[in-house]
């Protein structure tokens, strides 16, 4: 694995300026949450930095990677919002030479959650840092930050509930794992 400065340069060259800056802010917010939750700060910094590394790849690149890595062909009917995490982790592994399985898994899960409440602290930190980084300004973000400072788990559930409701409000197709995650967390926290 490259040092943080070299990773930043690699991420910067693959993303537009606005998305690169989002990645830097996610990295910073992940470090903050890592400190609050007794997690390795370097691991959180790296995972946050690279979480959207593959976000600007073409559909053809994602589809080729699904074949190359023998990922389930059922993934092919989805699109960039799902691919850039689940398939994006493969680009991070192959191009950035990141081998830490915990970091790769946190990238896979960063959009949808795990499908159940059993996520690692790193998974939760990256999932929440992406949602709460200081450039996010959606209604409710301050409340979400406050809840997450109190309880990382309650923050995860807040995000799942609000993202699900937002997607349904827009009449978007929802990835089954997003529903499964919501249901399992609702039961777990009740
Ligand atoms: O990559 P980012 O924009 O920083 O954030 P993200 O990876 O959390 O989310 C990417 C997009 O994916 C966001 O607009 C919300 C959307 N999304 C999250 N869950 C689902 C989803 N889109 C669909 N179609 N289905 C989902 O279940
Ligand atoms: Fe993302
Ligand atoms: Fe490897
Ligand atoms: Fe992101």
The ipTM of this complex is 0.89
CATH of domain 4-189: 1.10.3210.10
Whether the Cβ atoms of residue 110 and residue 98 lie closer than 8 Å to each other? no
Structure token pair of residue 84: 């850039």
Ligand 1 mutation pick, 18, 27, 111, max ligand atoms within 8 A of CB? 111
Single pTM value for the model:
0.96
Least Cα distance to 30 among 135, 141, 144, 128 occurs for 128
Query: Quick one: pLDDT at residue 2?
Result: 76
Cα(151) to centroid(ligand 3), Å: 34
Task: Please choose, from the candidates 138, 116, 112, 115, the residue with its C-alpha nearest in 3D space to the C-alpha of residue 127.
Answer: 112
Closest CA to 37 of 97, 130, 122, 111: 122
What phi and psi, each to the nearest 5 degrees, are found at residue 16?
-65, 160
* Cα–Cα distance, 167 to 124 (Å, whole number): 21
Write down the domain spans for the chain: 4-189
Q: Which of 19, 57, 81 to mutate to test the pocket of ligand 1 (most atoms within 8 A of CB)?
A: 81
Q: Which residues of the chain have pLDDT under 50?
A: none
Length of the chain: 190
């Amino acid at each position: 694995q490259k040092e943080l400065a070299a990773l930043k340069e690699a991420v910067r060259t693959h993303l537009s300026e606005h998305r690169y800056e989002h990645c830097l802010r996610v990295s910073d917010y992940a470090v903050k949450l890592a400190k609050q939750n007794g997690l390795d700060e370097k691991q959180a910094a790296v995972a946050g930095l690279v979480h959207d590394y593959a976000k600007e790849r073409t559909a053809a690149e994602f589809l080729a990677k699904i074949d190359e890595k023998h990922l389930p062909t059922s993934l092919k009917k989805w699109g960039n919002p799902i691919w850039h995490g689940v398939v994006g982790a493969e680009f991070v592994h192959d191009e950035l030479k990141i081998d830490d399985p915990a970091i790769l898994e946190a990238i896979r899960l960063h959009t949808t959650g795990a499908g159940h409440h059993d996520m690692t602290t790193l998974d939760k930190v990256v999932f929440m840092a992406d949602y709460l980084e200081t450039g996010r300004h959606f209604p409710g973000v301050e409340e979400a930050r406050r809840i997450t400072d109190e309880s990382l788990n309650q923050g995860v559930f807040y995000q799942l509930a609000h993202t699900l409701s937002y997607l349904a409000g827009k009449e978007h197709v929802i990835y089954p794992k997003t529903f499964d995650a919501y249901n399992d967390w609702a039961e777990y926290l009740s």
